[in-house]
Amino acid sequence: MRVKFLYFLLLIPLAQVWAGSLYYYIDENGVWHFSDTRRDERFNKMIVWPEQSNSSIKLNVDINFDYYIKDACRLYGVEENLVRAMIKVESNFDPNAVSKKGAQGLMQLMPKTAEMLRLIDPFHPRENIYAGVAYFKSLLVKYHWDERLALAGYNAGPGAVDKYNGIPPYPETQNYVKKVLEYREQYQGKYLPKSKVIILSERTAPKQ
């Protein structure tokens, strides 16, 4: 049923999928229901974006940012709300974000850092989050779990933190640390709704 649905959806012109919001849910019989509005809480939003490639496009379904954040934080022993705050400041939860300096994805990993972490697709939410959390964990260990120094190292690079033996005197870095900690405080105790998305991705879709 699922495979047939994937092939069916691939026949829909990308322009039609991209034109507006699309919501879906799967009922108890495995039937897919679609709507251009969220009729009730059963409906999840489909978020679709193209891979940076001229090749054919495939589907990877049911991606959940918050699930990946929780799982990555559980795996690496990092606080969930701190990572949510980092993503908020880094990319505002835009998986396609690219900074002027070339940082990519939800956690804005630089290409060299992504290569060091063996990250294949920096724009895939799951891979980006896991790699970003792993890298941040290494900084926490390096700076003896000092969150401020680890955040400064994530933003300006550990070399800058080591050079100044503390948070570098860069306005961008100082503001980054301040904003992340402020957002972390805001997220504490708040209900964070889950959001399932569907991603068009050539490299990350499971092989059929």
Backbone angles phi, psi at 72, to 5 degrees: -65, -40
Confidence of residue 27 (pLDDT cuts 50, 70, 90): low
Catalytic residue among 51, 80, 90, 127: 90
Task: Output the pLDDT for position 46.
Answer: 64
pLDDT over 60 at 110, yes or no: yes
202 is catalytic: no
Cα dihedral: 98, 104, 109, 114 (round 10): -140
Confidence of residue 191 (pLDDT cuts 50, 70, 90): low
Span(s) in the chain for CATH 1.10.530.10: 67-187
Task: Output the pLDDT for position 45.
Answer: 67
CATH number assigned to the domain with residue range 67-187, chosen from the 4 options 3.40.50.150, 1.10.530.10, 1.10.10.10, 2.60.40.10: 1.10.530.10
| Contact call for residues 112 and 95 (beta carbons, < 8 A) | no
The per-residue pLDDT of the chain, averaged, comes to: 77
Would you say the pTM of this structure is higher than 0.75?
no
Q: What sign results for the dihedral spanned by CA atoms 93, 48, 3, 28?
A: positive
Mean pLDDT of 73-95: 93
Tokens representing 99 are 């900074």
